[in-house]
Structure 1
């Protein structure tokens, strides 16, 4: 698993790194809310371990921004000393997938995270992603629009999957590049070439354009009404490109 740990307790973070890296997992860490949110929306993680009480932006607000503004469905386990029922309810309502109170056993945390990532993978395999009349079947990898089959090569299909999963939220260039090439993107602006090809197939033959360019940010895939609403929400001036 590739995990993001958003936690300001350095000793706890060190213990998590020692335990999980020894078992073959990869971890990144953020010591405060804004840094954690930035990493969560610009990088790909299998799951996020999120503390509630964080400097500058608390975990619940991080989670709300991740779900409502970024449109991310990454599994999030909230890790906190708050053990009252109202706190747990608030955490789940903010978008948490699981909730573990401190102190805790590291093997239990690992098992919970493995269960979350397995469920997320299962949902992805059985889901048809759709925006307007555009569909991607994640089981068969078939793409269609208005009932008409579309033929995409794998890189474009992966970009389409990420955009559909986040719709109508914005997707940063860094996140799209990571979805294709991990931590080793090629030289030059290969992402622009892939987006051009994706737009040619998905939008070219149709009067309703779904892919919007967000200057200095990335891209969004959404029907015009949804895109306008999202733009009002996040303050971006979206233009098609």
Structure 2
């Protein structure tokens, strides 16, 4: 049974979501604010977190930052908020949220989105990927090339991980945005190009044993040179 943490200072909504998800065979834990959520994450292993933004003590933005930096860096996060402005969504996604729902929302839609995120996370469950000289460790978020260890910015790491997990497959920009930034990302798809450029610049100084290949008009793939 998959476990979900629901974080919201509105007890009625928290209970409503908990009962609904429990009816669909999820183990649900509750936290009434961000600080309480940190305590719950130290006690329980969860596969996804549903977070309200406006909360006392530690708001949703601060909690997402804490999760990504200190707690569970790769656990899917859905934001729940009354805020619908583009800048609020942008801030949440920049901090590492995977999806966004504006209150009031349909519980069935929440379930659909949760299942999609869990399915996506499960598709990339391999903790260590080794391709030629490249080793990508999703436990430590370290990338190792030969004897050199790199700590990449989170989105660069996730982009490299997705490309490596789909070794020699061509992924479109839309696919990469969905897998790395989430289906609700409203930014420009050129974001992918910028991150690819940064990755190329980093690794060009270290090795030529693999490359991030551009498929013009389609997307990108990761290729490793055969010895």
TM-score, scaled relative to structure 1: 0.54
* Equivalent residue runs for 1:70-89 within 5 Å: 70=71, 72-89=73-90
Judge conservation of contact 2:9–2:55 (CA < 8 Å) in 1.
yes
Secondary structure of the corresponding residue to residue 138 of structure 2: helix
Shift of the 41–72 alpha-carbon distance from structure 1 to 2, 3 Å rule, reads farther
Structure 2 match to 1:60: 61
Structure 1 residue 9: Cα displacement:
0.3
Judge conservation of contact 1:50–1:77 (CA < 8 Å) in 2.
yes
Q: Any gaps of 5 or more consecutive residues in structure 2?
A: 152-227
Structure 1 residue 77: Cα displacement:
0.3
Structure 1 match to 2:128: 128
Q: Deviations over 1:94-140 (max 9, x none)?
A: 11000001000000000100000000010224x6347xx8958xxxx
What is the CA RMSD across the aligned residues, in angstroms? 2.7
Judge conservation of contact 1:41–1:66 (CA < 8 Å) in 2.
no
The structure showing larger relative contact order (alpha-carbon pairs under 8 Å, at least 6 residues apart) is 1
Partner Cα separation in structure 2 for residue 71 and residue 50 of structure 1:
14
Q: Deviations over 1:170-208 (max 9, x none)?
A: xxxxxxxxxxxxxxxxxxxxxxxxxxxxxxxxxxxxxx9
Partner Cα separation in structure 2 for residue 77 and residue 134 of structure 1:
31
* Equivalent residue runs for 1:14-33 within 5 Å: 14-33=15-34
TM-score, scaled relative to structure 2: 0.57
Partner Cα separation in structure 2 for residue 107 and residue 45 of structure 1:
21
Q: Any gaps of 5 or more consecutive residues in structure 1?
A: 137-163, 170-207, 209-222, 227-241
Q: Deviations over 1:182-238 (max 9, x none)?
A: xxxxxxxxxxxxxxxxxxxxxxxxxx9xxxxxxxxxxxxxx7x97xxxxxxxxxxxx
Judge conservation of contact 1:70–1:166 (CA < 8 Å) in 2.
no
Structure 2 match to 1:69: 70
* Equivalent residue runs for 1:209-228 within 5 Å: none
Structure 1 match to 2:140: 167
Structure 2 match to 1:119: 120
